[in-house]
């Protein structure tokens, strides 16, 4: 507000204050002796200005709701004029604040209505029972039955009692109450009184006054300074501090007794105690209060900006500690309003809120998350979305998702976080393609290269200095953040377009791909599939343009022609040539051709190609990888004779499988995927790779005896075996054989041991492998969308072989239906198969024995009738997941022919 408006406000405040003083007994002596009581008689102009501002806002509020009572009123901001629209109390409160800043017209005849506080000379139980309340609808005052309290607490002829006009004898009580500031003890008293009297009005009134005003709520449940001082010493000290510690702001006087910061534990205990009161007593009032609170916070964050960041964050912490209200209005009204207000928090405020939740509200995280999930689910299943109104346009869903991101990071902060151990970044040589760049200028949306390098770290993660790779174990499982109804509703093609538009236009479109924690892996894999397909299409257009201008022969696909008998040699040689000449060709769609075999690759031939490559290249006889029998995993052979180029090509194969949406039968331990995402292996990663070694080292760490050196007799020299079974010794430190492991250095020994096995010993092989992987996936959002556990699922597929889901998702063609007898017999046979035979069936029908991400419900199998009863075996189009099944006349014949087909099927036939 400019200087002129401030002067006008001060004059209006003085005018209002002087009118108020006429109804207040002259008690200047008392006011001068007690500085804490900021009444109208105070000489401090700052206190007068704040008190006047409050009173003006309240006058606007009642003017909007009740009017001035003048039937001829012409004030458009007055309900009596007939020009003002009908407002709810929440809308009126928000509008009143706006009118105050606009200095809108006020009707002079408006009655002075100021809400009274709980402070009085009576005891707490009497004051709550005998308070006088002004009836807004009738304008009449209602007195209590007790005359003794009615005189001291409220007088019809005087103004309503507030913290600004309490006499000197009541100053000590104001220190504790300070208007409607809540404490743990105060909640206990109100709840006990409500349970005894069955009268919830005092409780509702106090909660309403605190939870509707952010400036008051932020001061509730403050940490006490002198919690160790008790008895008379504390009382004497309070009497002295009431004068010395008075501030210029009445709302901040509570800090003179309460310490800085929110006492989260006290808040949790108090609001948990509130659950003893039946929720129907206060739930509706709480919904209104929280909605008003959210609107007031939003106004302050967007317009007023008077509250400190810490106070706003404290309001959100307290608001989300409110117990389950058990009513739909909370999910439909109050919670969306809180989410809408939270979106206006700055990054620093979001980080502070995440830290508070992660450090002090761990037990509340599940309740907060479940509440937000309920809001999103309720909104999604109750709304009919269309192409014109997508779920990305639904503010209730998008704002809740943004708030969930804060909970997501708080959950990581509340979990087990390891030191930041990063792999060295992979630097790839830029592939210059002038002709392709020219096409990009002509058709800007034709290439995904425009978005290369635009993937940036989340600002909130940067502010918190946290990365999901460093979180060994979150407080809540990451899977609890998935929202399946939302994931199933999202049109991923539109969401991907929004994501790219957001990157190009500074966040004008909302995309759930920017909040991947809420999406299931199946939905995210679909988004990655669309992105990769767009990239393939872009490379195809560039290739065609090359052919048109005569720059190069047309190569719209990445075509590999291999011999079955020499599949590894042929594939690796061709891929090496492509990687050397033009690595951008790796981004083209893969097409595989087996020499001497007929068939067009529509996906099925590529699946078989990858399966055969994986079977051979990960074979122990090949010598590039070692196998662990206990964990059934493969690991890089540190003594391999193969060149770095060979490991680079293996990385390319893995990247091509993801890029072409093909699932592989690869059994890497989880540490490989962590390292691919950029996180080095550590001691805990040994549990997936070598459980025996992990348990032994863990026992060493947990051993507390002073004779550790004699019991374990272990030095800093370790021994391991190569692929041929030879023992190899390695010193973890210089002269390691002379350094024994003791209680003082055992942690160092374990860390060095794990680092050597998982990082140093295979550094050369893994760097080459990771480089090949990055050559294919460097421009995709793989790292931004997927956690290491999800990348493993993307590569290896799901481990849930639920054939009931497959039966439900299967479609029928050629005359078959779900009620056909042959179909019924087929599923009866399938459900009785062993797991190994089920894998063979998947291999026969789809070209892969792996379950796609999301389960078998995402595998669209088609069973088609292939003629009447005959002696032919079933056949399959693996490219299209089609099973051709003759209509056999008996179940026994069907079982015999089916088992022969799935057991002896190898190679690509005429189909």
Show which residues are catalytic.
879
DSSP letters spanning 510-547:
--GGGSGGGS-HHHHHHHHHHHHHHHHHHHHHHHHHHH
Q: What is the rounded distance in angstroms from the CA atom of residue 511 to the CA atom of residue 517?
A: 12
Q: What DSSP element (H or E) covers 717? A: strand 717-721
CB 737 within 8 A of CB 715: yes
Q: How far apart are CA 788 and CA 471, in angstroms?
A: 11
Q: Which residue from 762, 748, 757 is spatially nearest to 719, judged by alpha carbons?
A: 757
Q: Which two tokens stand for residue 299?
A: 């106004």
Q: Which residues pair with 561 in a beta bridge?
A: 593
**Which residues, other chains included, contact 584 with Cβ-Cβ below 8 Å and sequence gap of 6+?**
431, 433, 436, 539
Rounded to whole angstroms, the Cα distance separating 113 from 92 reads 15
Are the CB atoms for 909 and 596 separated by under 8 Å?
no
Say if residues 722 and 760 touch (Cβ distance below 8 Å).
no
Residue 872 CB neighbours (<10 A): 13
H-state helical runs in 382-471 = 395-413, 434-442, 459-464
Estimate the crossing angle of helix 283-299 against helix 309-319, to 10 degrees. Answer: 160
812: β partners? 863
Q: DSSP letter at 618? A: T
Quick one: tokens of 730? Answer: 């390695």
Question: 771-810: buried (b, 16+ CB within 10 Å) or exposed (e) per residue?
Answer: bbbbbbbbbbbbbebbbbebbbbbbbbbeebebebbbeeb
Instruction: Name 755's Cβ contacts closer than 8 Å, sequence gap at least 6.
Output: 680, 681, 682
Q: End-to-end distance of the chain based on CA atoms, in angstroms?
A: 79
Which DSSP category does 445 fall into? G
Strands 633-636 vs 625-628: parallel, antiparallel or unpaired: antiparallel
Q: Which of 304, 303, 305 is nearest to 349 (CA)?
A: 305
Cβ count near 592 (within 10 Å): 25
- Pair 555, 602: CB distance under 8 Å: no
How far is Cα 625 from Cα 635, in angstroms, rounded to an integer? 5
Compute how many other C-beta atoms are within 10 angstroms of the C-beta atom of residue 509.
18
Q: Is 386 left (phi over 0), alpha (psi -120 to 50) or beta?
A: beta
d(CA 891, CA 138): 83
């Amino acid at each position: 507000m400019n200087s002129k408006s401030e002067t006008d406000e001060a004059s209006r405040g003085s005018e209002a204050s002087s009118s108020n003083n006429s109804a207040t007994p002259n008690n200047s002596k008392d006011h001068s002796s007690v500085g804490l009581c900021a009444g109208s008689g105070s000489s401090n102009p700052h206190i007068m200005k704040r008190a006047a501002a409050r009173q003006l806002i309240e006058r606007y509020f009642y003017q909007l709701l009740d009017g001035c009572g003048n039937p001829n009123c012409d004030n458009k901001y007055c309900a009596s004029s007939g020009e003002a629209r009908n407002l709810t109390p929440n809308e009126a409160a928000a509008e009143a604040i706006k009118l105050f800043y606009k200095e809108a017209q006020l009707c002079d005849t408006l009655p002075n209505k100021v809400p009274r506080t709980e402070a009085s000379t009576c005891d707490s139980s009497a004051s709550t029972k005998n308070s006088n309340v002004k009836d807004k609808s009738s304008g009449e005052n209602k007195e209590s039955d007790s005359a003794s309290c009615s005189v001291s607490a409220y007088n019809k002829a005087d103004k309503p009692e507030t913290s600004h006009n309490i006499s000197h004898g009541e100053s000590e009580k104001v220190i504790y109450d300070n208007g409607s500031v809540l404490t743990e003890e105060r909640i206990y008293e109100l709840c006990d009184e409500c349970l005894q009297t069955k009268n919830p009005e005092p409780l509702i009134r106090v909660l309403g006054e605190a939870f509707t005003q952010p400036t008051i709520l932020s001061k509730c449940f403050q940490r006490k300074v002198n919690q160790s001082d008790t008895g008379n010493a504390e009382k004497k000290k309070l009497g002295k501090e009431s004068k010395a510690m008075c501030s210029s702001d009445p709302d901040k006087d509570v800090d003179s007794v309460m310490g800085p910061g929110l006492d989260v534990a006290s808040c949790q205990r108090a609001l948990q105690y509130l659950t003893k009161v039946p929720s129907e007593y206060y739930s509706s009032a709480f919904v209104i209060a929280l909605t008003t609170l959210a609107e007031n916070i939003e106004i302050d964050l967007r317009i007023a900006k008077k509250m400190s960041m810490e106070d706003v964050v404290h309001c959100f912490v307290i608001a989300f500690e409110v117990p389950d209200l058990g009513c739909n209005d909370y999910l439909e009204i109050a919670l969306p309003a809180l989410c809408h207000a939270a979106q206006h928090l700055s990054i620093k405020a979001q980080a502070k809120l995440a830290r508070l939740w992660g450090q002090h509200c761990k037990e509340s995280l599940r309740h907060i998350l479940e509440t937000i999930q309920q809001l999103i689910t309720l909104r999604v299943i109750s709304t009919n979305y269309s192409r014109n109104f997508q779920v990305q346009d639904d503010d209730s869903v998008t704002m809740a998702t943004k708030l969930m991101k804060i909970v997501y990071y708080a959950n990581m902060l509340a979990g087990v976080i390891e030191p930041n151990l990063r792999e060295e970044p992979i630097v790839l040589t830029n592939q210059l393609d002038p002709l392709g760049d020219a096409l990009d200028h002509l058709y800007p949306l034709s290439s995904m290269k425009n978005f290369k390098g635009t993937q940036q770290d989340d600002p909130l993660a940067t502010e918190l200095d946290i990365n999901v790779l460093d979180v060994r174990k979150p407080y809540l499982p990451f899977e609890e953040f998935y929202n399946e109804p939302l994931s199933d509703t999202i049109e991923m093609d539109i969401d991907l377009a929004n994501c790219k538009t957001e990157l190009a236009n500074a966040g004008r479109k909302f995309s759930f791909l920017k909040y991947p924690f809420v999406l299931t892996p199946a939905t995210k894999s679909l988004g990655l599939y669309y992105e990769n397909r767009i990239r393939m299409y872009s490379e195809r257009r560039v290739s065609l343009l090359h052919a048109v201008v005569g720059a190069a022969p047309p190569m719209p696909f990445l075509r590999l022609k291999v011999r079955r008998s020499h599949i590894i040699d042929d594939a690796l040689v061709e891929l090496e040539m492509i990687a050397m000449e033009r690595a951008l060709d790796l981004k083209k769609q893969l097409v595989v051709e087996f020499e001497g075999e007929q068939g067009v690759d529509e996906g099925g031939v590529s699946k078989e190609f990858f399966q055969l490559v994986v079977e051979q290249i990960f074979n122990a006889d090949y010598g590039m990888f070692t196998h662990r029998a206990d964990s059934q995993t493969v690991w890089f052979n540190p003594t391999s004779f193969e060149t770095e180029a060979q490991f680079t090509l293996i990385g390319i194969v893995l990247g091509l499988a993801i890029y072409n949406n093909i699932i592989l039968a690869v059994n890497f331990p989880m540490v490989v995927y962590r390292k691919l995402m950029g996180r080095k292996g550590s001691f805990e990663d040994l549990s997936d790779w070598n459980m025996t070694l992990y348990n032994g080292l863990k026992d060493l760490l947990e051993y507390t005896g002073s004779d550790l050196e004699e019991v374990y007799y272990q030095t800093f020299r370790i021994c391991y075996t190569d692929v041929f079974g030879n023992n190899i010794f390695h010193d973890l430190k210089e002269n390691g054989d002379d350094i024994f492991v003791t209680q003082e250095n055992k942690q160092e020994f374990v860390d060095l041991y794990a680092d050597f096995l998982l990082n140093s010993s295979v550094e050369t092989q893994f760097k080459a492998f990771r480089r090949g992987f990055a050559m294919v996936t460097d421009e995709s959002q793989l790292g931004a969308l997927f956690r290491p556990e999800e990348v493993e699922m993307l590569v290896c597929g799901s481990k849930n072989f639920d054939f009931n889901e497959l039966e439900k998702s299967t479609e029928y063609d050629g005359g078959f239906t779900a009620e056909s007898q042959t179909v019924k017999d087929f599923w009866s046979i399938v459900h009785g198969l062993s797991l190994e035979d089920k894998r063979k069936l998947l291999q026969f029908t789809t070209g892969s024995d792996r379950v796609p991400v999301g389960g078998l419900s995402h595998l669209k199998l088609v069973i088609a009738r292939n003629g009447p009863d005959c002696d032919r075996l079933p056949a399959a189009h693996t490219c299209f997941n089609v099973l051709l099944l003759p209509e056999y006349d008996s179940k026994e014949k069907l079982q015999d022919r089916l088992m022969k087909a799935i057991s002896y099927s190898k190679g690509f036939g005429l189909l």
